[in-house]
Amino acid sequence: MLFWYDRGAGGWSWFAMSVGMVLFWALVVTAGVLLYRALARTAPPGGEHAGWRGERPPGVPTPERILAERYARGEIEDEEYRRRLATLRSSDGGQEKT
C-alpha cells in the first residue's frame, strides 16, 4: 500500500524499518535469555544453595565440619571446640536475641 499514488517509502524509511526490526528481535531474544537464566538458576544470588528439602549440596561444608577441621588442625583447643559445638547444636544457633 505504500506504493500507491507514487508515495513509496524512501531510503531512510526502509533503513528505519530495518533497524526497528533488528532492535525488536534483539529485545525479544534478550528477554528470552534473561527469563531462561532466571528460571534455570540453581542458587539465589549471594546466598547458599537450598535443595528441595533445605539440604546442602555435596561438597559444601557445614559449620560443624569447619569447626571439626579447625580442631583437627590444632587451631582451637578441646574445651573451645566442645563449647562451640554445643553452641552450634543448640536450638537458637548461638545467636543472642536483642
Each residue of 67-96: pLDDT tens digit? 999 999 999 999 999 999 999 888 655 455
- Give the model's pLDDT for residue 42: 67
User: Phi, psi at residue 22, to the nearest 5°?
Assistant: -65, -45
Each residue of 11-38: pLDDT tens digit? 778 888 899 999 999 999 999 999 998 8
Q: Are 42 and 57 in contact (CB under 8 A)?
A: no
**Predicted confidence (pLDDT) at residue 1 exceeds the cutoff of 50:** no
Query: Model-level pTM greater than 0.85?
Result: no
- Give the model's pLDDT for residue 80: 93
Each residue of 44-72: pLDDT tens digit? 555 555 554 556 666 778 888 899 999 99
- Give the model's pLDDT for residue 78: 92
* Domain ranges within the chain, ordered by starting residue: 60-92
Closest CA to 80 of 61, 94, 62, 67: 67
